[in-house]
């Protein structure tokens, strides 16, 4: 067995692990990177990248069907589902070199294509290698959660790890789970000519602001997606092409294919964490605000840390670990400025507190500024007027922003910047947006906050009358 000593050992070559490895090695640290499956992890191969590529295919088909609103004849698209999947894999292939073993070895990282497991508090065994490191970063990500629903083990089903390899278009896709993954795939597939039923045990898009989620769900239903809420699957039966799902309230749903999208679980099973004195929680590895585990030599980042499960969070965590483990600087992870987005049409985005959370935390101190997309000239020109932005404000500073509408995932960037830097609404109001852009929605939301103070204030009106009397 070959023994290796290194400064930094990274377990997992997904978004977070690759960022740590690249940053650390370029700063002069000796780095070993373990990956037992595909370089690039879930995001590149099974998640963000392929899902957005398939969404783009669906958007192209939908554009052909709805062209009449722009004065162009609508046509029924001829969808080649297999070709759409070719597009998905071509997109992955174009991005792959950035995450490849060859690139990282070129940077100076020693890449070992094996799974790793702890044998003590600072040593990991991986195939024929035994690696001892000053600091270890666990970045093993998460996998689809497959619940123990009676009958599911005897029925063929897809997850996000297999759906992008499916070449034959489903006649009727049943999706168990009404979260972001389920709703994105529902809309993409209905636009590609499938019948789609989403079966959700509680409320679809239940982690988002209900008012915002309703805007999205109404549009999905209008496009033909059947969304059954309060429908907890109790039994699944059937075979390939003929699947039935029975729910606890007695409803039965029939379809040709099944996609399980009920959530994700942290990848910890292979790691033998007990050997390193690393504790876990119900959702993942236990970490403090520095992302250190209960073993002070070991960090956990991204999905496996059991918090927000987003690629950009893993990247953010990587920056925290580089400052701490590589540079020896104090660094703590925060969540208030972390945005997330669901890439349906319209999109759904959030940063900071929702309205309900803000009311609970801040009570009467909370003010809410609202602006509808129907008053944005670019949204009118694009026929994308279904949308709303809500800004939760306390003492002149935003504490949360919810957006449902065209390009919500782009619009939320500004508010992450604002909250991260504790900026005021007056600073957002001072921004100038080019006209006409969807981005004006953000400035107009700030204007909606100040409007009552300027136009409904008797004091302001009195001051203006006084000034007007004395102006030459």
Write out the binding residues for NAD(+).
177-184, 200, 263
The verdict on whether omega for the bond into residue 76 sits within 30 degrees of 0, i.e. cis, is no
Residues tagged in the binding site annotation for FAD? 52, 116, 140-142, 303
20 contacts 8 by C-beta, under 8 angstroms: yes
Please check whether residue 133 is in contact with residue 124, taking contact to mean a CB–CB distance below 8 angstroms.
Answer: yes
CB 158 within 8 A of CB 27: no
What is the C-alpha to C-alpha distance for residues 164 and 1, in angstroms, rounded to an integer?
38
**Cα–Cα distance measured from residue 311 to residue 339, given in angstroms and rounded to the nearest whole number:** 11
* Angle at 342 (CA atoms; ends 205, 426), nearest 5 degrees: 105
| CA separation for the pair 169, 44 (Å, rounded) | 22
Beta strands 2-11 and 129-138, pairing class: parallel
Secondary structure (3-state) at 251: coil
Backbone angles phi, psi at 119, to 5 degrees: -115, -15
Q: How many CA atoms lie within 13 A of 313 on its CB side?
A: 24
Q: What is the DSSP string of 340-394?
A: EEE-SSSEEEEEE--HHHHHHHHGGGEEEEEEEGGG-HHHHHTT----EEEEEEE
392: exposed, middle or buried (C-beta count within 10 Å: 0-12, 13-18, 19+)?
buried
| Residue 110 structure tokens | 């020693």
Strand order in the sheet with 388-394: 339-342, 347-352, 397-405, 388-394, 366-372
Q: Strands 339-342, 388-394: parallel, antiparallel or unpaired by DSSP?
A: unpaired
Binding site members: 52, 116, 140-142, 177-184, 200, 263, 303
Taking the CA atoms of 323, 316, 334 and 450 in sequence, report the sign of the dihedral they define. Answer: positive
Nearest to 79 by CA among 187, 194, 223: 194
Helix (H, G, I), strand (E, B) or coil at 400: strand
Q: What's the full length of the chain, in residues?
A: 472
Helix or strand or coil: residue 117? strand
Which residue, among 40, 37, 38, has the nearest Cα to 17 in the 3D structure? 40
């Amino acid at each position: 067995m070959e023994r290796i000593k290194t400064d930094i050992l990274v377990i997992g070559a997904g978004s977070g692990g690759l960022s740590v490895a690249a940053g650390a090695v370029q700063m002069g640290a000796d780095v070993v990177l373990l990956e037992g499956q595909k370089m690039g992890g879930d995001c590149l191969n099974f998640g963000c990248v392929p899902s957005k590529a398939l969404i783009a295919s669906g958007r192209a088909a939908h554009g052909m069907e709805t062209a009449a609103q722009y004065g162009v004849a609508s046509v029924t698209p001829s969808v080649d589902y297999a070709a759409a999947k070719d597009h998905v894999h071509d997109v992955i292939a174009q991005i792959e070199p950035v995450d490849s073993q060859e690139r990282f070895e070129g940077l100076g990282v020693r890449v070992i294509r094996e799974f790793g497991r702890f044998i003590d508090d600072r040593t990991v065994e991986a195939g024929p290698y035994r690696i001892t490191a000053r600091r270890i970063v666990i970045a093993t990500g998460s996998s689809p959660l497959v619940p123990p629903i009676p009958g599911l083990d005897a029925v063929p089903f897809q997850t996000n790890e297999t759906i992008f390899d499916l070449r034959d278009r489903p006649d009727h896709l049943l999706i168990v789970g009404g979260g972001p993954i389920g709703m994105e795939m529902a809309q993409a597939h209905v636009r590609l000519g499938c019948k789609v039923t989403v079966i959700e045990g509680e409320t679809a898009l239940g982690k988002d602001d209900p008012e915002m989620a309703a805007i999205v769900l109404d549009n999905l239903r209008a496009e033909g997606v059947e969304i059954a809420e309060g429908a907890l699957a109790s039994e699944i039966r059937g075979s390939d092409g003929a699947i039935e799902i029975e729910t606890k309230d007695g409803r039965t749903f029939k379809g040709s294919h099944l996609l399980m999208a009920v959530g994700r679980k942290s990848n910890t099973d292979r790691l033998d964490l007990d050997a390193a004195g690393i504790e876990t929680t119900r959702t993942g590895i236990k970490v403090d605000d520095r992302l250190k585990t209960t073993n002070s030599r070991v960090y956990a980042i991204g999905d496996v840390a059991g918090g927000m499960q987003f690629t950009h969070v893993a990247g953010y965590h990587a920056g925290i670990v580089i400052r701490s483990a590589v540079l020896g600087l104090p660094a703590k992870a925060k969540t208030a400025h972390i945005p997330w987005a669901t890439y349906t049409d319209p999109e759904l985005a959030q940063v900071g507190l929702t309205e309900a959370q803000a009311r609970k935390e801040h009570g009467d101190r909370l003010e809410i500024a609202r602006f509808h997309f129907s008053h944005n000239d670019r949204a009118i020109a694009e026929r994308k007027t279904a949308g709303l932005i809500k800004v939760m404000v306390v003492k002149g500073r935003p504490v949360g922003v919810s957006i449902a509408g065209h390009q919500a995932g782009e619009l939320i960037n500004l508010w992450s910047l604002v909250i991260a830097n504790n900026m005021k609404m007056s600073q957002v109001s001072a921004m100038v947006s080019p006209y006409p852009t969807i981005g004006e929605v953000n400035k107009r939301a700030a204007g909606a906050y100040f409007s009552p103070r300027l136009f409904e204030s008797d004091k302001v009106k009195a001051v203006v009358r006084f000034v007007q009397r004395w102006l030459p």
